Amino acid sequence: MKTKLFFFAFFLIFSVNAQQVQWANKLIKYSSDLGGKQFGIKRILGKPDAFPQAGSSPNAWTPKNALNGEFVEVSFEKPQTVKQVAVFENLNTGCVSRIAVDNGSGKYQTVWSRNINYKTPTFRGSIPADRKYYYKRKRRKIQEAPDVLNPGIENVILESAVSGVVAVRVDFNFSLLPGQKQIDAIGISDSETPLQATINTNEAFEKLLPSTQIVLDGITPTNPSITNEGKKMYITAVENDNELIYSFSKKADGSWGNKTLETTLNTGTSYNYVELANSDFLLKGGNGYNKGTGETGYQFFLNKNGNYEAANTIKVTAYNNYEDTSDATMTADAKVFIVGIETDFTQGGTDLYFADQKEDGNYGFLQNMGKVINSGADEGMPQLLSDQKTLLFSSNGFSGYGDFDIYVSYRLDDSWKNWSEPINLGSRINTNEFDGLPFYDEKNELLYFISFTDGSNVLKSIPISKKSLFKNK
């Protein structure tokens, strides 16, 4: 069957309205699997999440052999007419060698193949990692893969549509290009309109005013936090190998001044930061902790006549974090503690977890907040808003604009395990660099966040209404 093959750059986004589109939802057979929750074959299922930003991602299937022939067979939720098959190759596109479809007969019919003959250049491994490699995560063998390049989407448009398709087989010849290979997703459509990845965002977020950079007396900032009344900001300054907490007061013109070193809060040798400060208590991170004791590195400071005084440390039953740092938030009554860490129960890298407060004031076992809000990559830097249903956080595991982006998700029931699909806060906030550590000032309806710009952290703010941010406002 004759076909046409189109290549489209990964950064383009097109609407797929009016198309019948399905993404692979079940594995039938495959050639190799690294195993584990990251980089495994199951990461090929569902809609793209390593696109449109593309590049290496734990949310994509990484075959074991970078230069071997590999294949995957996937099925779809229901039969449909197929005019297009799209393969999202987030590293080194151009290695699809054959596509075949099953229209319910149990046999695959080839609908497209790449013309490969003795003149077609192929590549042999120049270093061991060019053939076999392992991803760089804990508890795994580590071997560097070659530099990555050329992400893209192979949109195969069939000359004649095939009806009743229930499964697709994609064969790869990874020796056509050097370097690491990853596959993000496989989609089918009944239209010639090229399938592309879209970012799940909100129209209101794309209409925000431009963000404003806030300069704070020579400080390289991280971890902004604003008090409930919106008049005091705590910020952590990166100074040499230390991170120290300063406060600033809001002036009449809306700028920040009266820089003050918060000596009482700088209890650790590094990583000092304020996660939230309300009229009753302040949640401070960065304390040292001993593994196996339940210590988390977080501590309460109670409000005593306008001053925060050190109180009990926060302990979680069987607490364990593979990283040296974390970020946390909690409900205003301190009954639920939320933290971004990596444990044995992670969905991928760093995940969002919660723990309920016990009668003795400590917290019970951490529970993962679920696969919808946690990806195969990293989620963290949470802020829970006053309705106890709206959660801001940062992630590099969903379709976005670059590195870490800022997202919002909504709690859908009385549990803390059922969350809506994360919504990207849009291109007015998120860039192709790191954007994270969000803190929303509900009093003044301003979002503060850290953005990596021109080689350094900068503090930004942007007006965003509660009506746009809160689900039920």
Give the tens place of pLDDT for each residue, 147-189: 557 899 999 999 999 999 999 999 999 888 887 889 999 999 9
Tokens describing residue 212: 């404003």
SS3 for the chain, per residue?
Answer: CCEEEEEEECCCCCCCCCCCEEECCEEEEECCCCCCCCCCHHHHCCCCCCCCCCCCCCCCECCCECCCEEEEEEEEEEEEEEEEEEEEEEECCCCEEEEEEECCCCCCEEEEECCCCCCCCCCCCCCHHHCECECCCCCCCCECCCCCCCCEEEEEEEEEEEEEEEEEEEEEEHHHCCCCCEEEEEEEECCCCCCCCCCCECCCHHHCCCCEEECCCCCCEEEEEECCCCCEEEEEEEECCEEEEEEEEECCCCCEEEEEECHHHCCCCCCCEEEEECCCEEEEECCCCCCCCCEEEEEEEEEECCEEEEEEEEEECCCCCCCCCCEEEECCCCCEEEEEECCCCCCCCCEEEEEEECCCCCECCCEECCCCCCCCCCEEEEEECCCCCEEEEEECCCCCCCCCEEEEEEECCCCCCCECCCEECCCCCCCCCCEEEEEEECCCCEEEEEEEECCEEEEEEEECCHHHHCCCC
pLDDT in tens, 373-413: 999 999 999 999 999 999 999 999 999 998 999 999 999 99
Average pLDDT on 41-53 reads: 95
What pLDDT, on the 0 to 100 scale, is given for residue 118? 62
* pLDDT interval class at 144 (50, 70, 90): low
Q: 269 pLDDT exceeds 60?
A: yes
* pLDDT interval class at 452 (50, 70, 90): very high
Q: pLDDT: is 402 or 463 the higher one?
A: 463
pLDDT in tens, 4-15: 444 433 333 344
